[in-house]
Amino acid sequence: MRSFVLLAWLGLSAVGVASCTSSSGIDSLGLDRLAPSKEITSAIPRPSSPVSETAQADVAVVMDVSANADAGMPPVKPSALVGGSEARAVEATEQVALSVPDRPIARGKVVRHRFSDAKPINFGKVSPKDYAVHGVDVSRWQGDIDWVKLKSQGANFVYIKATDGGDHLDPMFKKNWREAHQAGLKRGAYHFFYWCRVASEQADWFIRNVPRVEGALPPVIDVEYNAHSSCKRRLPRAKIIEKMQVFMDRLEAHYGQRPVIYTAPDFYDDNLKGEFKDYPFWLRSVAAHPSKRYPGRDWVFWQYSGSGLSHGVDGKIDLNVFHGSEKQWWAWISGATSVAAR
């Protein structure tokens, strides 16, 4: 996802400035300590609200770890959780009971990857090619995508940039969301989190723009440092955890899926070590296997390259793998994408 961070200054830095500087409320002025916090987490008493108080997952995805042992890969652990059956939408008028069907979803065909890389890396004993299920993540910077061709190259899933902050929608999101599904890719949406915006406002903006549909991958919160943003605040670790929890609680209540946390090494080292142990992680690690860069951290997705090359896309694209075998992929998908459509 660094493609957004690295390219935003070329032509759309004004968008980033607007997103951060247009923040509403005291929080945007850096004066949030002078007034009661607008961030509400499960760690402190909640006001009366249609949002589920606990929003705790009640279904764990049980995976068969034996397939990875023979390949020398770290075992997959059931870190991806599905939202509880009583989770509710943010607005009272949108309350809906959720349930997880007890039958597996229909399986498609996993396409073997044929991506290349402009900057190939020797990852050592366990490399991306050892994993069965590959995918990509995209934003406006990939332009018009030929999704059929991209899937034929091994893109079995895609995470699509949807929103950042509380007022920016990626202009290609709706098109990418529709066409990826039509081409048969498993699709999900991600939000680039702004530290100068109130977390609940960001969650509401994401919910407003990302459909809640059966079969979609769990939503993603992208947390990392952005040197090109007008927001230069480096919040205390506790405040970062608080804001993330607010955002994720609201998404889980609305979508009925536990959000995935995407992050990069520097941000992880400063803020996320030892945190959110019951959340699925998507880890960026373009020079080493995640087990070396994030020791002890379970993960579901690994972003191993920001310089991928593929038919169907002009220029470079981020490449990812799922942590497990094809069998484990379908087990995870069966639980993680089971939500009732409106």
- Positive or negative torsion for Cα 117, 224, 136, 178: negative
Residue 171, CA distances (Å) to 20, 141, 337 in order: 18, 10, 25
- Reported as half-sphere exposure (CB side, CA atoms, 13 A), residue 94 has a value of 19
Compute the CA torsion angle 96, 99, 103, 107 (nearest 10 deg): 60
Enumerate residues 6+ apart whose C-beta is below 8 A from 163: 169, 170, 173, 189, 191, 192, 202, 205, 206, 209, 210
- Phi, psi torsion values for 273, nearest 5 degrees: -60, 125
Residue 326 annotated in active site: no
Q: Which of 224, 242, 252, 275 is catalytic?
A: 224
Which residue, 214, 197, 213, is CA-closest to 205?
A: 197
Enumerate residues 6+ apart whose C-beta is below 8 A from 273: none
Alpha carbon 49 to chain centroid, angstroms: 26
As annotated, the active-site residues are: 224
